[in-house]
Structure 1
C-alpha cells in the first residue's frame, strides 16, 4: 500500500513551515504504511560543503559514537548534528569521499543514508507520527521535501529498508507499488557495481536510476527509461536539489493527486493529505497522467 507526500514551496515565506506542513501531510497517511517512515528535507546548504547523513542498522545503534569516530578519522573540525538515530556531518567533497571509504573499512554496519549540498534524509522503523516526532521534522525548514510511509510486503521492516532511497548527490526516490522483475534487476545491478543492501524492490528502483544516470542519462531520461525496463506498477516521487518530480506507470493503478497554487506544488497518495495546506480551496487539483514525467524546479 504505502503512502507518499511531497511539497515544493514556490513562496520563500513558507519555507520555515516546510517541516510542519510535511508532518501534517504524512500524518494522514499513517494507515497506508504503519511500519516505518522517512523524510527527505532540502534545507539551506553551505558553499563548497556537502552533508553526509549516516545511520546504523537500527534505532538503538550508538550513532553519536560512530559519528565521532568518523569525524576524528577524516575531519576533526567538521560540524556534526545528531537527529535521533541519524547523524549529519558537514564536509568538503574530498572529506565526504574519505568518509565513505573509512566507514566501509571500519564501520560497515553504518549506512550513508544521503549525501548532498542540501539534502538530508531521516528514516526509521515505527509509526510515522512517532518517527516524525523523534526526528523533530516539524521544526525543520527548507524549500521542498518528500516523505513516505511504508507497509512492508516483500522485505524486512528495517531502517535500511525504509524510504527514501538515495539515487545520487542531492537526489532520492520514494515508491508506492510493486515491481515484478526486481530480483533479476537486482542481480544485474550488483554485477554492474551498484550496491544494494536490502531485498526492497524500491531500493532496486533507486539503484536503477543511479545506474542510468552514471551512464550519462539525465534523471528525467532515466525515469522515462524505467517505463520500459521496470515491470509492475508504481508511483515514483523523486527529489532533486532544485525540486521534485513525479512518474506513474502506464496503467497508473496506484492513487495519486496533485495540487498547485502560486505558493506551492504538492503531491499525495490521497487528497486528505492536501486538505490542510494553506490556500488549498483555491488550488488547481488534478491526477497526474500515466507514463508522464512531471518536474517542478527552481531556476
Structure 2
C-alpha cells in the first residue's frame, strides 16, 4: 500500500507555502499508510555549513547538551534546534563525516535521519496528521520536498522503518512497492562502502542511487540504471539538493499521478492528494509512464 507525495517549487513566491501544501498532501494519503509518516524538506542553506537531523526516543536526555558535546568532540562550533523527537544540528560542512563517527559514542541510542546542506528529514510512528503536528511541518518553507505514509506489510512499525530514507548528503528517497533483490544488493553496496542501517528494501534503493551518483552518474542516469539493476515493482520519488526525480518500474502496477503548472511540479499516489494545490484546475495532469525517468532541477 503506502502513499507518496512530492512537491517541487518552480515559482519562488510559493516557497513559504511548501510545508503547508505538503502537509495537506501527506494527510490526504493517511488511509494508504496509517502506521508512520515522514517528510524531507529542502530549505535554507548557510554558506559553509551543513545540517545533521538526529532522532531520539529520549530527546530530553539525549539532546540536553548534544550540540556542546559534539562541538567538543569535533573541535568545531555546533548549534542545535530541537523539534520534538528530532534535533537539527548545524555544523561546518567539512565536519559532517567526523560528526557522524562521533555521534554513536556520544549518544548510542540516537539515530541520524539525514545530513546535507539544505535537507532535513522528520519521521515518526503514528498517523500522518499527528506526525505533521509534532514537527510543525505546515510552518516550514523550502524549494522542494517529498513525503510518505507507510503501511508496514513486511516489517515492524518503527521510526527507522519509516520513509524517507537518506544514504547520502542531501539525497533521499520514498518508495511504494517491493524489491526482490535487495538482500544481495545490500551486501554489494556495503562492500562498496555505502552505509546501510536497516533491513528495509527502500533504504537499499536509496543506497543504490547514492552509489551510482558517487561513481559519476547524475540523478537521472542513476534512475535509468535502476530500471536494469533493481528487480521487483517500485515507484521512486527522489530528492537531491537541487533536484526532484520520479521513476516507475516497467510494469508500473503501483498508482501514481503527476501535475505541473508554471509554479510547481507535484506527485501523488492518487489524484486526491493534489486537489488542493493552487491552480490545479489548470495544471497538466498525467500518469507517469512505466520505465520512464522524470526529472526537474533548479
- Indicate the TM-score class for this superposition, using the shorter chain for normalisation: over 0.9
How far the C-alpha of 1:181 sits from its partner, in A, is 1.3
How far the C-alpha of 1:162 sits from its partner, in A, is 0.9
Whole-angstrom distance in 2 between the partners of 1:61 and 1:290? 46
Whole-angstrom distance in 2 between the partners of 1:205 and 1:38? 17
Whole-angstrom distance in 2 between the partners of 1:83 and 1:44? 16
Q: What SS does the aligned partner of 2:211 have? A: helix
Asked if the contact 1:49–1:117 (Cα under 8 Å) also holds between the matched residues in 2, the reply is yes
Match of 1:70 in 2: 70
C-alpha change, 1:152 and 1:59, in structure 2 (3 Å) is: farther
* 1:236 aligns to 2:233 (yes or no): no
Structural RMSD (CA): 1.7
1:223-262 map, 5 Å: 223-262=223-262
Match of 1:137 in 2: 137
How far the C-alpha of 1:107 sits from its partner, in A, is 2.9
How far the C-alpha of 1:257 sits from its partner, in A, is 0.3
Match of 1:33 in 2: 33
How far the C-alpha of 1:22 sits from its partner, in A, is 0.4
Q: What SS does the aligned partner of 2:63 have? A: helix
How far the C-alpha of 1:229 sits from its partner, in A, is 1.1
C-alpha change, 1:4 and 1:63, in structure 2 (3 Å) is: farther
Q: Where does the alignment leave 5 or more consecutive residues of structure 1 unmatched?
A: none
TM normalised by structure 2 equals 0.94
C-alpha change, 1:65 and 1:237, in structure 2 (3 Å) is: same
C-alpha change, 1:233 and 1:10, in structure 2 (3 Å) is: same
Whole-angstrom distance in 1 between the partners of 2:267 and 2:241? 17
Whole-angstrom distance in 1 between the partners of 2:35 and 2:272? 20
Match of 2:12 in 1: 12
Q: What SS does the aligned partner of 2:34 have? A: coil
Give deviations 1:118-140, integer Å, cap 9, x for gaps: 11111111111100000110000
1:179-218 map, 5 Å: 179-218=179-218
C-alpha change, 1:20 and 1:33, in structure 2 (3 Å) is: same
C-alpha change, 1:90 and 1:60, in structure 2 (3 Å) is: closer
Q: What SS does the aligned partner of 1:8 have? A: strand
Whole-angstrom distance in 2 between the partners of 1:31 and 1:201? 22
Q: What SS does the aligned partner of 1:65 have? A: coil
Q: Where does the alignment leave 5 or more consecutive residues of structure 2 unmatched?
A: none
Match of 1:151 in 2: 151
Whole-angstrom distance in 2 between the partners of 1:72 and 1:123? 28
Asked if the contact 1:155–1:198 (Cα under 8 Å) also holds between the matched residues in 2, the reply is no
1:271-282 map, 5 Å: 271-282=271-282
Asked if the contact 1:75–1:91 (Cα under 8 Å) also holds between the matched residues in 2, the reply is no
C-alpha change, 1:286 and 1:193, in structure 2 (3 Å) is: same
Q: What SS does the aligned partner of 2:64 have? A: helix
Whole-angstrom distance in 2 between the partners of 1:210 and 1:217? 9
C-alpha change, 1:215 and 1:108, in structure 2 (3 Å) is: farther
Whole-angstrom distance in 2 between the partners of 1:218 and 1:159? 30
Whole-angstrom distance in 2 between the partners of 1:63 and 1:31? 33
